[in-house]
Amino acid sequence: MRLIKNTTELIGIKDQNIKISLVFETNTHIEIQAKLDYPAPSCPHCHGMMIKYDFQKHSKIPLLEQAGTPTLLRLKKRRFQCKNCRRVTVAKTSIVEKNCQISNLVRQKVVQLLTEKVSLTDIARRLRVSTSTVIRKLDQFTFKEHFDKLPRVMSWDEFGFKKSELAFVAQNYETNKLITILDNRRQTTIRNHFLKYPLKVRQKVQFITMDMSGAYIPLARRLFPNAEIIIDRFHIIQHLSRAFLKTRIAIMNQFDKKSLPYRALKNHWRLSRKLSCKSFHSKTFVKP
């Protein structure tokens, strides 16, 4: 356990070279005004002697929320000039990276939230950063794939990835654990991915569930010779519902729109969706 000696550490400012001059609260956020200053170091270019030059224009650095209120650090950084090469450098701090306006604490929080079930826009809104910042952080992740095992039962499907585009997803049917996500569902892409697995590994797959489109079936049989293809229950029920709907409409259109059978088929369409052997009776359609 480490004791926190002052409020600067509490808000995440551990750099002793940062001196806070003013802290105030507005209707929207808490603002901290501070300066970054320390003795002139040697020149990073020619290793000559440097002198204090001036302060850089203040940087707006978002920090983590304090008591649920957004916090902004306005930091002025000291600039140094070399006496020999006349080059100017800016003071460095552990709060933020060079040429960056977002604190390292916020970046760490972005990484933490990316591991949770939160959308990119929600992360950006909560941390007061742009969505592109969150996307750039996500792109820095490196995922190491293992091609030495596959589950006994796999599930193949697609989902909306971009506008009018579908992506391919494969997961463990028994545990719902993701196996892979591909940015398109072309057979070439799917085949090239699963060919990375040795044939012995692919032969251990026993079942693959998928939809009724038929696009995946020939490919799955070539890649997984011992696997049985099973149609997903959701797609079976979906096709049955559509078949019932078309049949009901076809029968309904054979009658006059003012007739009793037409109104019964139209108003009680939900009965065709219910699998029940019980007879149905309604006083509304009792003939006099």
The predicted model gives 102-112 an average pLDDT of 88
The listed range with the strongest mean pLDDT (56-65, 118-127, 237-246, 273-282) is 118-127
Residue type, 51: I
Query: Do 33 and 20 touch, CB atoms closer than 8 A?
Result: yes
- 225 with 256, same domain? no
Which residue is listed with tokens 């440097």? 50
DSSP string, the chain: -----SHHHHTT---TTEEEEEEEE-SS-EEEEEEE-----B-TTT--BEEEEEEPPPEEEEEEEETTEEEEEEEEEEEEEETTT--EEE---SSB-TT--SBHHHHHHHHHHHTSS--HHHHHHHHT--HHHHHHHHHT-------S---SEEEEEEEEEETTEEEEEEEETTT--EEEEES---HHHHHHHHTTS-HHHHTT--EEEE-SS-SSHHHHHHH-TTPEEEE-HHHHHHHHHHHHHHHHHHHHTTS-TTSHHHHHHHHTGGGGGS---S----GGG---
pLDDT at 286: 47
* CATH number for the domain harbouring residue 226: 3.30.420.10
Q: Is the predicted pLDDT of residue 234 greater than 60, yes or no?
A: yes
184 belongs to a structural domain: yes
Give per-residue pLDDT as tens, 70-91. 888 888 888 898 888 888 888 8
- 202 with 163, same domain? yes
Sign for the pseudo-dihedral over CA of 186, 190, 195, 200: negative
- 254 with 222, same domain? no
CA 82 to chain centre: 46
Query: What is the percent of the chain where pLDDT is above 70?
Result: 90
Q: How confident is the model at residue 198 (pLDDT cuts 50, 70, 90)?
A: very high
Give per-residue pLDDT as tens, 253-282. 898 888 888 888 788 777 766 655 566 555
Q: Is the predicted pLDDT of residue 106 greater than 80, yes or no?
A: yes
5 belongs to a structural domain: yes
Report pTM.
0.54
Range of the domain at 226: 153-231
Domain count, the chain: 4
Distance CA 58, CA 62 (A): 13
130 belongs to a structural domain: yes
pLDDT at 240: 82
- 204 with 240, same domain? no
Q: How confident is the model at residue 208 (pLDDT cuts 50, 70, 90)?
A: very high
Kindly list the distances between the CA atom of residue 176 and the CA atoms of 58, 156, 172, 213, in Å, as whole numbers in the listed order.
Answer: 49, 11, 5, 22
Distance CA 279, CA 275 (A): 11
- 8 with 40, same domain? yes
- 218 with 160, same domain? yes
- The alpha-carbon radius of gyration of the chain (Å, integer) is 32
- 113 with 181, same domain? no
148 belongs to a structural domain: no
Q: Which residues contact 151 (CB under 8 A, 6 or more apart)?
A: 172, 173, 174, 175, 177, 179, 205
Residue type, 263: R
Query: Do 80 and 51 touch, CB atoms closer than 8 A?
Result: yes
Among the listed ranges 2-11, 147-156, 215-224, which one has the minimum average pLDDT value? 2-11
Q: For residue 52, what are its two tokens?
A: 């204090």
- 119 with 133, same domain? yes
147 belongs to a structural domain: no
216 belongs to a structural domain: yes
Higher pLDDT: 286 or 143? It is 143
Q: Which residues contact 273 (CB under 8 A, 6 or more apart)?
A: 241, 244
Which of 96, 114, 129 marks a domain boundary? 96
Query: What is the percent of the chain where pLDDT is above 90?
Result: 18
Please state, rounded to an integer, the average pLDDT across all residues of the chain: 83
- 190 with 252, same domain? no
146 belongs to a structural domain: no
Which of 215, 231, 247 marks a domain boundary? 231
Among the listed ranges 1-10, 111-120, 254-263, which one has the minimum average pLDDT value? 1-10
Give phi and psi for 235, each to the nearest 5: -75, -30
171 belongs to a structural domain: yes
Give per-residue pLDDT as tens, 52-71. 888 888 888 888 887 778 88
- 76 with 88, same domain? yes
